[in-house]
Amino acid sequence: MNTNASNFVEQVDLAFYVIIGISLILLIGVTAVMIYFVVRYNKKKNPTATQIEGNNKLELIWTIIPTILVLIMFYYGWVGYEPMRNVPDDAIEVKAIGRMWSWTFEYDNGLKSDKLIVPLNKAVKLNLVSMDVNHALYIPAFRIKEDVVPGRNNFMWFEAQKLGSYDIFCAEYCGQRHAYMITKCDVIPVEEYNSWYAEGAQALANPSDDPVEAGYNTIKANGCIACHSTDGTKLVGPSFKGIFGTQRVVVTGDEERTVTVDEAYIINSIKHPNDDVVKDYMKGLMPGYDGQISDEDMDKIVFYIKSLGE
């Protein structure tokens, strides 16, 4: 299992080997002794039991030796863990935003990505932000995990040591599509990373000329498509396809009413999703984006939804 994909793998795996190794010896030893006793002292072979009340020396031995063994185990667990909490000063900082049910990674220059792109052999610190409920960012290949808790500034860091594309999972149960809150961490060479970072910055300065593409990029970066499809498939939220300009029945408070899906409705539903929930969909699942998405981006989203037809 040791891939050395991150700087932590070696020490973490060592803790596994030490603990599982000691445990296996004890497990096999105790089980073998137990089976031996049952066979050797079967009532046919040994019709009369020898009464032994106990033995204080033995009690001491099997208290002290396990104590030493578990302290050794603790030590290896701690040694592997300690560096996880000490972030190098020169680490690249990335904001990792979790929401039901997608990830967004925001870089220093404002670049947003639904994949985590990191350079090889550079320390990367992830500042973990949740927009709604608890999540946990888990990269099995790197042996790291930390909860993404709303209202708290949790963090984690790592140094990727091997090029490749690694799974990122949400490990803290977060609702209906928890199992789909997955993405990738792409580890790329430093030069490639630098140019990706610079290109991204440029793209932000000069957004795509194609407004449909720009709109799609915006909803992707903000995690909308985790719950709203663009092809008519019903996910947790209504699909964006073909809704613009139509009449929909929504629940406002406890009352049902019919609204037209227009610009005002879309923008308000993004900012305050629980005001008017489309009938047959669940209230309370979507976080409000008031203050999270700029007016400019709102326009792009509205344009994109319009482009998906009426």
Partner 1 sequence: MESEKMATEITPKGYVNFFEESHGLKSWIFTHDHKRIALLYFYGVVGFFLMGVVLGLLMKFEMITPGETIMKPQTYNSLFTLHGVIMVFLFIIPAVPAIFGNFFLPILIGADDVAFPKLNLLSWYLYVIGGIMALSTLILGDGPPDTGWTFYAPYSVKTGTNVIMAVMAAFVLGFSSILTGLNFIVTMHRMRAPGMDWMKMPLFPWALYATSWVQVLATPIIGITLLMVVAERVLGVGFFDPSIGGDPVLYQHLFWIYSHPAVYIMILPAMGLISEMIPVFVKKSIFGYKAIVYSSLAIAFVGYFVWGHHMFTSGMSGQARVVFSILTFLVAIPSGVKVFNWVATMFKGSIDLQTPLLYCMAFIFLFMIGGFTGLVVGALSADVHVHDTYFVVAHFHYVMFGGTGFAFIGALHYWYPKMFGRMYNKKVANIGFGVLFTGFNILYFPMFILGIQGMPRRYYDYLPEYSTWHKVSTMGSWVVAIGLIIIIANLVKAYRKGEPATGNVWGGITLEWETKSPPPLLNFDKPPTVTHGPYDYSILNK
Q: Indicate the residue among 58 and 205 with the shorter CB distance to partner 1.
A: 58
Phi then psi for residue 230, to 5 deg, are -110, 5
Instruction: Figure out which of the listed residues 96, 124, 133, 305 binds partner 1, where binding follows CB under 8 A.
Output: 133
3-state secondary structure of 38: helix
Taking Cα atoms as reference points, which of 157, 158, 145, 152 lies closest to residue 130?
A: 152
Chain-centroid distance, C-alpha 198: 26
Binding mask 82-121 for partner 1 (x = CB under 8 A): --xx------------------------------------
Instruction: Figure out which of the listed residues 2, 4, 23, 165 binds partner 1, where binding follows CB under 8 A.
Output: 23
Q: Is 147 in the site for partner 1 (CB under 8 A)?
A: yes
Number of residues that bind partner 1 (CB under 8 A): 84
Residues ≥6 apart with Cβ < 8 Å to 157:
84, 87, 88, 91, 123, 124, 125, 126
Q: Give the span between the Cα atoms of 231 and 247, in whole angstroms.
A: 19
Considering only 204-212, 215-223, 249-257, 277-285, which stretch makes contact with partner 1 by CB under 8 A?
A: 277-285
Instruction: Figure out which of the listed residues 5, 144, 224, 293 binds partner 1, where binding follows CB under 8 A.
Output: 144
Q: Give the span between the Cα atoms of 152 and 128, in whole angstroms.
A: 8
CB of 8 to partner 1, least distance (A): 7
Q: Is 152 in the site for partner 1 (CB under 8 A)?
A: yes
Q: Indicate the residue among 50 and 247 with the shorter CB distance to partner 1.
A: 50
Q: Are the beta carbons of 250 and 273 closer than 8 angstroms?
A: no
Q: Indicate the residue among 147 and 276 with the shorter CB distance to partner 1.
A: 147
CB of 203 to partner 1, least distance (A): 30
CB of 100 to partner 1, least distance (A): 9
Q: Is 74 in the site for partner 1 (CB under 8 A)?
A: yes
Q: Is 234 in the site for partner 1 (CB under 8 A)?
A: no
CB of 188 to partner 1, least distance (A): 22
Cβ-defined contacts of 188-197 (< 8 Å, 24+): 188/117, 188/118, 188/119, 188/120, 188/163, 189/119, 189/120, 189/163, 190/119, 190/120, 190/121, 190/122, 192/119, 193/117, 193/118, 193/119, 193/120, 193/122, 194/119, 196/117, 197/107, 197/109, 197/111
Binding mask 280-299 for partner 1 (x = CB under 8 A): --xxxx--------------
Taking Cα atoms as reference points, which of 165, 11, 133 lies closest to residue 80?
A: 11
Q: Is 250 in the site for partner 1 (CB under 8 A)?
A: no
Instruction: Figure out which of the listed residues 87, 114, 120, 154 binds partner 1, where binding follows CB under 8 A.
Output: 154
Q: State the number of CA atoms in the 13 A half-sphere of 254 facing the CB.
A: 0
User: Which residues within the stretch 29-58 sit at the binding site for partner 1 (CB under 8 A)?
Assistant: 30-31, 33-35, 37-38, 41-43, 46-55, 58
User: Which residues within the stretch 164-203 sit at the binding site for partner 1 (CB under 8 A)?
Assistant: 167, 169-180, 182
Q: Is 204 in the site for partner 1 (CB under 8 A)?
A: no
Q: Give the span between the Cα atoms of 136 and 170, in whole angstroms.
A: 5
